[in-house]
Amino acid sequence: MALKNSLRLAMRRRAVGIDIGARSVRIMVLSGSARRMGHVRIEGIASGPLAPGAMAGAEIVDGQAVARALSEVFGNVPQQCLSAALCCAMAIPGSATFTTHLSVEHVDGSHRRQASLEPAVVMEAERIAGLERHALAIDWYLEDTPPRIGAMAIAATAREHLEARIGCAAMAGITLTTVDVEPHAALRALRHAARFELELHEPYVAIWIGSDGVYGWRIEGETIAQEIRYPSPEYTCVADALRDLADDSFNVCALVGGEIELLEGVCFSLADIGDVLGCTVLPFDCSSLSDGDVIPPSDLLHDPSFAVAFGLALRGLAQ
């Protein structure tokens, strides 16, 4: 039996999501089996405080403080779920990232074809970011979900943000394999949660609250029908943004992740979200998303701020 369990453990792919917030560091370790796509198991979860002033928005001010926090948090994860081949992902705030979509005709998805698109992608990234190529870190991929199937999704950020995170991870003995955008990672986690919390194809709203604002998406089937961000020039308050997101549509539920206390700090609660959208509101909760027992059990599983870490680890498993 021990040999069988060891073989099963070895066959599972593992990934870590690392979320560096303004005041804390959170990590989530997930594993997945290639034979059961979409099924994941939480292998470890941990968080720890970050020294005041270590972060200033998207900028890492004190890299050594961040590295120490990373080392301490990783030390709180069971070492048997960490391996040399671990895929580690970290995120950059949405406010420090420029995103757009490039219409591409007759894309066959091959590496050769994507390589031929690189000059156009770089030009578009330079345009939206207002920075030259050498100062940018650029990522792009072909969309495979409605409504932009076949379009090229482009994300760009200042290279200094990327290098700072790679450097802090390296000081903590961690090799980053993926860097994502915080709202994208949060949305990935919320959509995964919707598969457990809601009936198939029910329309719902996904909301993520970060240190740089509120991001929301109205999901209909597999399609993002509407998306909002606050603060933004077109909205005078959070409620206005949410009303635009609702758009008089019938939403079964709203799934909310992130640092909810930040929203409550501006006198807007989860109950207020439900009133504006006219639907039930559920905080993101990891406890029901694991295929098997959690190692170890933790109250952190009920913390909605782990949406980014969870979504980052999901991306690591998919790569």
Q: Is the pTM of this model over 0.85?
A: yes
Backbone angles phi, psi at 84, to 5 degrees: -65, -25
Residue whose C-alpha is closest to residue 16's, from 298, 318, 314, 295: 314
Helix (H) or strand (E) holding 52: none
Query: Which stretches of the chain drop beneath a pLDDT of 70?
Result: 1-11, 34-38, 83-85, 104-115, 143-150, 248, 263-267
SS (H, E, C) 243-286: HHHHCCCCCCEEEEEECHHHHHCCCCCHHHHHHHHCCEEEECCH
- Sign of the torsion angle spanned by Cα atoms 199, 201, 204, 205: positive
What pLDDT shows up at residue 113?
54
CA–CA separation, 94 vs 28, rounded Å? 20
- Residues 188/289, Cβ–Cβ less than 8 Å: no
What pLDDT shows up at residue 105?
61
- What residues contact 138, with CB distance under 8 A and at least 6 apart? 121, 122, 125, 154, 155, 156
Structural domains in the chain? Answer: 2-93+161-186+287-318 (3.30.420.40), 95-158 (3.30.1490), 199-284 (3.30.420.40)
What pLDDT shows up at residue 266?
62
Q: Quote the tokens at residue 111.
A: 């590496």
What pLDDT shows up at residue 5?
43
